[in-house]
Amino acid sequence: MSSADTTLKHYFVSHEQQFDAAKLGMWLFLVTEILLFAGMFVAYAVYRSWHPEVFLQASELLDWRLGALNTVVLLASSFTVALSIHFVQKGENDKVVVLLIMTLVCAAIFMVVKYFEYSGKFSHGVFPGAGFEPHGIVDGKDYSKYDIPFAPQFFSIYFVMTGIHGVHVLVGMGLFGWLTTRVARGHFSPQYYTPVELTGLYWHLVDIIWIFLFPLLYLI
């Protein structure tokens, strides 16, 4: 108990109360994240319903294989996070460190793939907004044929949604790096592992956002 007492804030009565409060706070924060992304999903829905054929055509320029790869990578990272919580609850902290590093690697792979996708688009003039001027031929697709009205809107939405999602991935990577050192220094135990739990919740939400982005942007 004595080691756990240092983690109990004076304004809480019990660890149970403190843990539940932190968790409810995190869920509320996740709801704000959902509504933040909701704005972009609404913009997507409106423009897609106005210009369905443009969206179908423009989405051909996104490589679904890279999207699928990133989906699998993020799902795997969610799995490793879920496992790390399983093991931190059992007190097997060495396994937690390995799992968190694996998560970090997955997140890094995701960002690298995203980097190649973005740079491939930029090099052929597919920019968000005013710079939109597609040119060149990739995989037999003539980019200049995609310079049609409202294709810029598709790519604006694509870049804004995946961009803000990417920022969330980067934040997650920072959090996991910080957590890994704390686990390695033995800060957590089955009695107190709130930061691991909360970061895990955040990461699963980032995963869920991508679960929706992938089919909407790459597939349909």
Partner 1 sequence: MAHGHHIIPLRTLSMVFGALLFLTVVTVITAQIDLGLLNIPLALAIAGSKAILVVFVFMALKYDNRVNLLTVVLGVVFVVVFLVLTLADTEFRGSLGITEPAIIEASPESSDTGSRMP
Partner 2 sequence: MSDESHNYLNARKGLWSWLSTTDHKRIGIMYAIACGAFFLLGGILATFVRTELGEPGETILGQDQYNQVFTLHGVVMVFLVIIPAIPGILGNFVLPLQIGAKDVAFPRLNLASWYLFMAGAIMAVCGWLFVGRVDTGWTFYTPYSSGASNAVLWLTSAVFIAGFASIFTGLNFIVTVHKMRAPGMTWNRLPLFTWAIYATGIVQVLATPVIGITMVLLFLEKLLQIGIFDPALGGDPVLFQHFFWFYSHPAVYIMILPAMGIISDLMGTFSRQHVSGYTFIALSSVAIAFLGFLVWGHHMFVAGQSALSSIIFSMLTFLIGIPTGIKVFNWVATMYKGSVWLRTPMIYALMFLFLFTIGGLTGIMVGVLAVDVHLHDTYFVVAHFHYVMMGGALIGLIGGLHYWWPKMTGRMYNETAGVIAAILVFIGFNLTFFTQFFLGTKGMPRRYHDYSEFLEIYPEFAVLNLASTIGSYILGVGLVMILVYALYSLFRGPKATANPWGACTLEWTHTGPVPDEHNFHDTPLVTRGPYDYHLADDVFGKKTES
Which stretches of the chain bind partner 2, using CB under 8 A? Answer: 10-11, 13, 17, 20-21, 24-25, 28-29, 31-40, 42-43, 46-47, 127-131, 149-150, 152-153, 156-157, 159-160, 164
The smaller minimum CB distance to partner 2, of residues 31 and 171, is found at 31
Is the distance from CB of 124 to CB of 136 less than 8 angstroms? yes
Distant-in-sequence contacts of 166-169, Cβ < 8 A, 24+ apart: 166/111, 166/114, 168/33, 168/206, 168/209, 169/107, 169/110, 169/111, 169/206
Q: Are strands 141-142 and 137-138 parallel, antiparallel or unpaired?
A: antiparallel
Q: Which of 62, 72, 157 minimizes the C-alpha distance to 110?
A: 72
Q: Is the dihedral of CA 39, 40, 46, 49 positive or negative?
A: negative
- By a kind-dependent CB cut-off of 5 to 8 A, residue 130 interacts, out of partner 1, partner 2, none, with partner 2
Least distance in Å: CB of 41 to partner 2?
10
The smaller minimum CB distance to partner 1, of residues 83 and 97, is found at 83
Which residues make Cβ contacts (< 8 Å) with residue 179, sequence separation at least 6?
100, 195, 196, 199
Contact pick of 6, 9, 11, 49 for partner 1 (by CB under 8 A): 49
- By a kind-dependent CB cut-off of 5 to 8 A, residue 184 interacts, out of partner 1, partner 2, none, with none
State the residues that interact with partner 1 by CB under 8 A.
Answer: 1, 4, 14-16, 19-20, 23-24, 27-28, 30-31, 34-35, 38-39, 41-42, 45-46, 49-50, 64, 68, 71-72, 75-76, 78-79, 81-83, 85-86, 89-90, 190-194, 200-201, 204, 207-208, 211-212, 214-216, 219-220
